[in-house]
Structures are given as C-alpha cells and as structure tokens.
Structure 1
C-alpha cells in the first residue's frame, strides 16, 4: 500500500497503516485526533469534581519476575561535598541558620510500572523502499541507525530516539475524554483472550459511543492483583485476567476504524504476550505492531483503574476527563505516567 511519501524515508507503507496521513514528518500519530473540540468534550464529563490517580506506585509490580529486563526504581540521596543530602543541615547553626535539606536521584526503568509505550518502543522489518530488502523501521518510516540510535552506534553517537521520542507526547499535553470498558465482567480473574465479539459486548455494556480522539481504557483487574501482591508478585499473575486477542483480525480492524487516540489497560501488555494462536511468521505482538508501528496509537500499560471504575459504576457512567502526559524526557522510548481521571 502506498501513501504520501514520508520525506524520502519510504516509498511503500505497511497495510493498515496511516503513515503520511498526518504529515511526512509526523511523530504524534493518532494523538493528532485530540483536537480542542475533544478537550471541550472531555470537560463536559466533569460533574462532581472528583479526581482519581490512575497510577500504581512506581515500585510495583516489585522485583523482576514479571519481566526480567525491568527492575524497580533505585532511589538514593544526592551528594553535597561528599555528604549524603538527606536530613542534612546546611549553613552555620551558630549563626541561627536552620535549614535541613533532602535531595535525591533515581535510576528508573521507564516501562517498569504504569507507563506509556512510545512509537519508538516497537519497530519492524519492512521493505519501505520496494527494493526487496526489509529494513528496521518505526512508525511513519523513521529508521533504525538514523532516527533511532543504538548503543553500538559506529559513529559513537549516544543511544536514544532522535525521532519518535516519548517527549513528543508530553509536548502534546495529552488530555481528552477517557472511556472505561469492563473486561473483567466477561472474564472474571480467568485468563481469557478477548476477541471482537466479546469486546463488542463489553463496549455495548459501557453505554458510551466512542468518538474520534477518545482514549479507550480497559479494566481487567490485573493491576488490582499486582497491588495485592504488595511487591512480591508470583509469575502465575501472567496467567490471570483478560487480555486482548491480538490475532483477531476483526478486532484489529475495529481499532483501525474506531478513531481512538490511544489504548490503555490495567494489565501487562494489553494483549497476550506472546499473542496466542498460530504464528509461523510475522509479529509476536500483532496488536503492538498495529498500534505502535502502523497506526501511531500509544499503548498504556499497568494503569490502576479500580477506584475510578467503582465510582463511575455508582454514577452509572463510563466516560471521564483524562489527563495523562508522560515525562518530557528527550530520547526515551517509553515513560512512567501518572494519569488523572476527573469526573
């Protein structure tokens, strides 16, 4: 499939992709659908003035049993003249100077807990030039080694996302209407792959007509179990609660057609990891491929939705105002996020 060429980065774009539709150098994807009108629509969902934090504590899940590559934050004091800056008196007490200072630093895995996946998080091998040779590329044809620099760069450049960094999302200041869909009502705590038919039942039950620029939030109960584990999760958590079926083509096509600006869930990965069903070739995570690589739909993972859902249920509502910018951290491929829902 062809489209408007991306500033000579590509001649051919993948099927089901929207590369070039928002401009040759676009890095926002479907976040472009969040217009001022969308923000105004979101403000009309504010009726009680209650706000809810949709983030887990960022030291959860705890340990690295759910993902061996990701570890909890390491928080430590900074140093001042060789002294730890924590409960540190500064100044001259004999002169009556009474200041006591704390100052800290953190080493954080940006996708350890409640997070946004940036478009630079997942790329694919695709023949963008029509040369018969697949290359490692990302959303809108941005290229590995040119726009995303690896750790072993032959020119010695620092690694990071020069394009498609998650800081672009922060500059967008993500704020729009959120719509909460309850998948736990279908699956309970059982590991169930939710395909198109079950998903449409859950969407109908929420009673809200999704509109362009909305952010869809999926409640499965997984983050509730993470919180209950109190920092010591069991690997069996990966066998509990609903996940989307990334190999259901009707579900993927619905996402393409839906007009949603982003897709978030309280589980680990939104879809099953790796996706279930037969796969002789192609992506291990087809929903990630569709959203991050083809359509430019940010994915939110490990959001905490239980308290919000309880209050929305009591008001017989499913929509709310959602504010969820990531850290404005240049070059990062993902980011912690503290989403705030206001109803």
Structure 2
C-alpha cells in the first residue's frame, strides 16, 4: 500500500467509517470492523496473541468498544422497560467457590434506636462479579493486560495501572445477548451436572444459538453478533446451586475436604478450551463475556492454558462470573427475544482488582 493510500485509510479509521487496519495503532474504537485473531499485529514487548491495541496507557480494553454511538444504538433494545436484576445475594453461593472468604454483614449502631450503618467484609470474587484485569495474568510471562506486572498491583511500587476504578469511571452499558445453553441442553437430552467439568463446545453454542434464532457469528461474517455486544451464557450453576442443601453445597460445590488437589478439586461446567472457541470469542469483539458459573470456562481445564489468559490478559475483555441469569432466561424464553439493554456499575475503588457486578438487564 502506498504511503498516501495508507494515510487515507488511517484517516478513514480515525473518523470511524472504515475497517480497522491491524497495524494502524492505536485502534479507533468507532471503526466499523476489526481484524480477526489470525491477523492481529505483533506488539513489541507483549506475549504472542496479545491485542493491546488501544494505546500504551489504556486501562479498559474492550470497554473502549462501548462508544456513545454503540450505547445509543443498544438502547433500542428496550421494548417493555422491564428491569431484570442479575445479581446474586452477596452471601450466595454459600460457601463461596475456590475457598474464598465468606461474606460478613454487621449492623453498627450510630445512634441508639434512630440511626444504623452497615459494615461489610467480603471478597469481590465471592458472588456475582467482574474479573478485573489485575485478577489473572498470562501465565508463561506473568503479565497482566497491557503490560501490567505484579509489582504494579501490590508492593512499594504499586500504582493504578489497570485498576478496576477505570471501568467504573468509563461505565458499562450496551446490548446484551443471552445464549441459554442450559435450556437447550435439557430440550435435547444433553444431561450433565453443572457442578461437573462438562465442556460447552463452540459447535454446541452454534446449535444453541440456532434454536433461539441467533446466528452466533460476528456481523462481519454474516451473523447476528454486533461489535461491543456483551455475551451471557447460562450453564445452569445458579439453578443447580439452588437445588442443594448447605451440606450438599459444601460437598459438591466447595470440595472443602479435598486439600490435596487444591483448586483442581473443583469442577464446574463452562465453555470449552478449544481453538474454535478462542477464535469466536476474539473475532466477535464482545465488550465483555459473562457466565453463571464460578469460572465461565470449563473447570478444571484439560489444556495447558486457561481461557482467562486470553480473555483478561491478552485481550483486555471483562469476564463476569456467577451472574444470576435465571429470571432473565425465563423472560427471554417467554418473549422469544434474547437481546436486551444491559448496564453494570463496577465499584469505584482505586487500585481494586475486581468488583461485584451490580448489573441489570432492561427488556
């Protein structure tokens, strides 16, 4: 490409009208289309496959895609105005998965009989949550999103790089799209326990989408997924959790008696670790992905990698876990529509790692 043509293309991208050139950094969030995973540029100093494309000082990753234009367009999904909260109680699941601390709530008396305060003691990973970019690194290089290191998170040189408060200051609002895999599986005699390592493959998600009238390919490939969509996948963990007694939860979900195998003792259904899934999650340009189980991906992984590494550290894509999708799934099935307006308000905590989601779907 000639230098004049290249400058013209970069100008078009800057104005938001054209396809984003892979090598024209930083990328323009308002571009009409973005490169596939196989065409990602090589970023100096970054792990292979990193999409650190929004600028060296970027802290919000794929949330850059939630531009005013896309948020306004997403608001057209509001048809009835029904509000559907997507948050579990802060003490649910009980006990928390992965040996996290229990939520503790104390009432403080400010003035006898006339004024009270709350005191909360919690782990932001204990209930409906967003995994922030400081939560999980690319394991081979021990690097978090956009070059963040452990020393940036904790210690004498700690700073605010990729802190969760950046998400709060930007805000999260856009078009949500639900794939109700649990409903699809039951309808097609796919019997599995959500508290097992059941893997949800890309091909199964394709079939699930078809039953809902959704082509899960990105819009650029002729599908129904729009740039900036927030993906929600219901695997059935919340449903299963509600069926168990506290004693059963301690045995089936928490595995608190198996200390020899550590976190590998836990088992949860989730998205399969496979190339088709990785390409799809990247190429759809979701602004965030969400599940109703403690890990989003199938746990434990059967591969030498975790999807967390791609989603969080390589791509900077917010990852939600343990969202309560039960009421939303029922209403979507009743109305035969699987898209909606979605808002979430992460905690404004400078230096924070993650946050409870504080999420609502508006139908």
Scaled to the shorter chain, the TM-score interval is: 0.7 to 0.9
2:335 maps to: 315
Higher helix residue share = 2
Paired residue total: 297
Q: Map residues 91-240 of structure 1 onto 2, 5 A cutoff.
A: 100-125=114-139, 134=141, 136-145=142-151, 147-149=152-154, 153=155, 155=156, 162-184=160-182, 185-186=184-185, 187-190=190-193, 191=196, 192-208=198-214, 209-229=224-244, 233-237=249-253
Q: Is the 8 A contact 1:268 1:302 kept in 2?
A: yes
2:288 maps to: 262
Q: Is the 8 A contact 2:164 2:352 kept in 1?
A: yes
Q: Flag the 1:59–1:125 CA change in 2: closer, same or farther, 3 A.
A: closer
1:119 aligned counterpart, secondary structure: coil
Does the alignment pair 1:31 with 2:63? yes
- State the 1:234 CA deviation: 3.8
Q: Flag the 1:220–1:162 CA change in 2: closer, same or farther, 3 A.
A: same
- State the 1:77 CA deviation: 3.1
- RMSD over aligned CA atoms reads 2.4
- State the 1:188 CA deviation: 4.6
- State the 1:250 CA deviation: 1.3
Does the alignment pair 1:72 with 2:105? no
TM-score of the aligned structures, taking structure 1 as reference length: 0.80
Provide the rounded CA distance (Å) in 2 between the counterparts of 1:46 and 1:2: 37
Structure of greater Rg? 1
1:81 maps to: none
Does the alignment pair 1:15 with 2:54? no
- State the 1:143 CA deviation: 2.2
Q: Flag the 1:230–1:58 CA change in 2: closer, same or farther, 3 A.
A: farther
Q: Flag the 1:240–1:329 CA change in 2: closer, same or farther, 3 A.
A: same
| CA deviation map 1:175-228 (0-9, x unaligned) | 000000011122454342012211222233332411000000001111122234
| CA deviation map 1:115-154 (0-9, x unaligned) | 000011011355xxxxxxx5x3211112221x222xxx3x
Worse-superposed segment, 188-197 or 213-222: 188-197
Q: Map residues 51-90 of structure 1 onto 2, 5 A cutoff.
A: 51-64=83-96, 66-68=97-99, 70-78=100-108, 84-85=109-110, 88-89=112-113
- State the 1:15 CA deviation: 2.5
Alignment gaps of 5+ in structure 1 = 79-83, 90-99, 127-133
Q: Is the 8 A contact 1:120 1:161 kept in 2?
A: no
Provide the rounded CA distance (Å) in 2 between the counterparts of 1:4 and 1:142: 19
- State the 1:174 CA deviation: 0.2
- State the 1:317 CA deviation: 0.3
Q: Is the 8 A contact 2:137 2:144 kept in 1?
A: yes
| CA deviation map 1:68-100 (0-9, x unaligned) | 1x122211234xxxxx43x724xxxxxxxxxx0
Provide the rounded CA distance (Å) in 1 between the counterparts of 2:118 and 2:174: 33
- State the 1:161 CA deviation: 5.8
Provide the rounded CA distance (Å) in 2 between the counterparts of 1:63 and 1:237: 8
Alignment gaps of 5+ in structure 2 = 1-21, 27-42, 215-223, 255-265
